[in-house]
Amino acid sequence: MSPKTLYDKIWDAHVAHEAEDGTCLLYIDRHLVHEVTSPQAFEGLRMAGRKVHAPEKTIAVPDHNVPTTLDRAKGIENEESRIQVEALDKNAKEFGVHYYPVDDVRQGIVHIVGPEQGWTLPGMTVVCGDSHTATHGAFGALAHGIGTSEVEHVLATQTLIQKKSKNMKVEITGKLKPGVTAKDITLAVIGETGTAGGTGYVIEYCGEAIRDLSMEGRMTVCNMAIEGGARAGLIAPDETTFEYVKGRPHAPKGAQWEAALNWWKTLYTDEGAHFDKVITLKAEDIQPVVTWGTSPEDVLPITGVVPHPEDFTGGKVEAARRSIEYMGLTPGQKLTDIEIDTVFIGSCTNGRIEDLRAVADVVRGKKIKEGLRAMIVPGSGLVRAQAEEEGLAEIFEAAGFEWRLAGCSMCLAMNPDQLAPGERCAATSNRNFEGRQGYKGRTHLVSPAMAAAAALTGKLTDVRELM
């Protein structure tokens, strides 16, 4: 048999039907659902008199619209947001899928809840009507975002019409330097490839620096595969993965665990397997990075300066000009001279316990810059509970952070957590698009440690100087 990549293996194990032209029906093991992209899909089922094909493989949780303030039990003030969440409550019940409502301690961002509850397992196919489904690739699961028509298709048939993508390898050799994190890796890769560099590919991340990452860090890396344009990002499962999965509520137990483990251990890229594109970065070369513009590819080391539009070529010249103007920056300005108004720590990129520990390590015993707005939004109710148990919440509150309930929050600002026009934010989320965090709001993407450093100084800051 010819050698296969990890992607080839998972793909082959899930093809339910293949047409002559190569169009496949890919079987879906887990379907995650949230309130924004699903109402029209459930409505479609209802209108066609269809039911959910496999409700036991479908997991729903509201996250995008939910308030994250402590008084959210009062209900959702914005009427349209409330209607969406209520629609999910109703659809989950009517169609009999697994559900974590707003008042359940396990509620949180769908991509944090799935792994936390053991729904996401190695070798699975996982989809969700959300582009950051790529996160689950950290387990060696083939995971990607789909549109609402496809949500309806998966609900009705438990399959997706797909053509196979190409294979791309991103290898990070060697070891990371202190102060450099998974977030810097994933941003550095996008800086290297551009936001369209992965289009048409499934990326497998590998190399020593990736192996050395915890599951939390691996999820951060895979989360942003989509910002690099890839359909999905994957990391081969290993002991770190098995250790994380073991004992989770929906992970296999007993004899099934052993059987699963046997199969999971075969999930790696065979020696000599073909990749259509290969990118290699040295971990030592990666520095703490920030974005200066309005595309995730606008990445520079924190030691850099705002570029000139003329540094670019083609359509990017105009895009860079527009970005710099939108961001209110001056070419040549040092990145560390950029003052910020707000710090947002959270999201499916960086809302896990390890991210919060990294923040606590920087701000312990210190105070954030006076007048700055800084919020920490844990990725799930369980992350919040654990942070409280570990004493992190006290550190945050003493430093002056707002300590919130779980949700997407200011990552996309569909709930009341928004930037005002012109307000500048250091954010641990994944998108710095125009208006992403609020109309005319300005976003600089950073790691949790860098966000914490910025909160202390009120400027974009090289966290290594505070270490």
206 annotated ligand binder: no
DSSP code of 66? -
Which stretch in 118-126, 205-213, 405-413, 455-463 sits in contact with ligand SF4 by CB under 6 A? 405-413
Site for ligand SF4 in 52-81 (CB under 6 A): 63-64
What does the alpha-carbon distance between residue 56 and residue 61 come to, in Å, rounded to a whole number? 14
Site for other proteins in 351-390 (CB under 8 A): none
Q: Which residues lie closer than 8 Å to 38 by C-beta, 6 or more apart?
A: 60, 88, 91, 129, 148, 151
130 touching ligand SF4, by CB under 6 A: yes
Which stretch in 95-103, 175-183, 317-325, 380-388 sits in contact with other proteins by CB under 8 A? 317-325
Site for other proteins in 320-349 (CB under 8 A): 322
434 binds, among ligand SF4, other proteins, none (CB under 5 to 8 A by kind): other proteins
Site for ligand SF4 in 414-443 (CB under 6 A): 429-430
158 touching other proteins, by CB under 8 A: yes
CB 277, CB 202: distance < 8 Å = no
The closest of 57, 232, 31, 17 to 148, measured between CA atoms, is 31
159 touching ligand SF4, by CB under 6 A: no
Closest approach, Cβ 407 to ligand SF4, in A, equals 8
Closest approach, Cβ 3 to other proteins, in A, equals 21
Closer residue to ligand SF4 (CB): 130 or 354: 130
Helix (H, G, I), strand (E, B), or coil: what is residue 396? helix
Helix (H, G, I), strand (E, B), or coil: what is residue 241? helix
Closest approach, Cβ 39 to other proteins, in A, equals 4
444 touching other proteins, by CB under 8 A: no
What does the alpha-carbon distance between residue 380 and residue 251 come to, in Å, rounded to a whole number? 19
412 touching ligand SF4, by CB under 6 A: yes
Closer residue to other proteins (CB): 172 or 202: 202
222 annotated ligand binder: no
Helix (H, G, I), strand (E, B), or coil: what is residue 160? strand
Please pick, from the candidates 46, 51, 75, 78, the single residue that binds other proteins as defined by CB under 8 A: 78
183 touching ligand SF4, by CB under 6 A: no
17 touching other proteins, by CB under 8 A: yes
CB 291, CB 298: distance < 8 Å = yes
b/e for 288-307, b at 16 or more Cβ within 10 A? bbbbbbbbbbbbbbbeebbb
35 touching ligand SF4, by CB under 6 A: no
What does the alpha-carbon distance between residue 67 and residue 308 come to, in Å, rounded to a whole number? 39
Distances (CA, A) of 329 to 255, 387, 462: 59, 36, 18
**Total chain residues near other proteins (CB under 8 A):** 76
Closer residue to other proteins (CB): 3 or 200: 200
190 touching other proteins, by CB under 8 A: no
What does the alpha-carbon distance between residue 139 and residue 244 come to, in Å, rounded to a whole number? 9
What does the alpha-carbon distance between residue 220 and residue 396 come to, in Å, rounded to a whole number? 22
CB 39, CB 84: distance < 8 Å = yes
Which residue type sits at 7? Y
276 touching other proteins, by CB under 8 A: no
Q: Given the structure tokens 């600089």, which residue do they identify?
A: 444
The closest of 163, 153, 201 to 21, measured between CA atoms, is 163
Please pick, from the candidates 26, 41, 88, 109, the single residue that binds ligand SF4 as defined by CB under 6 A: 109
Please pick, from the candidates 149, 266, 303, 333, the single residue that binds other proteins as defined by CB under 8 A: 149
Which residue type sits at 423? E
CB 424, CB 442: distance < 8 Å = yes
222 touching ligand SF4, by CB under 6 A: no
Which stretch in 126-134, 179-187, 271-279, 396-404 sits in contact with other proteins by CB under 8 A? 126-134
The closest of 465, 435, 440, 441 to 453, measured between CA atoms, is 465
Secondary structure element (H or E) that encloses residue 150, with its range = helix 148-157
411 touching ligand SF4, by CB under 6 A: yes
411 binds, among ligand SF4, other proteins, none (CB under 5 to 8 A by kind): ligand SF4
Please pick, from the candidates 69, 173, 195, 287, the single residue that binds other proteins as defined by CB under 8 A: 195
**Residues interacting with ligand SF4, by CB under 6 A?**
63-64, 109, 111, 130, 132, 347-348, 408, 411-412, 429-430
Annotated binding site for [4Fe-4S] cluster: 348, 408, 411
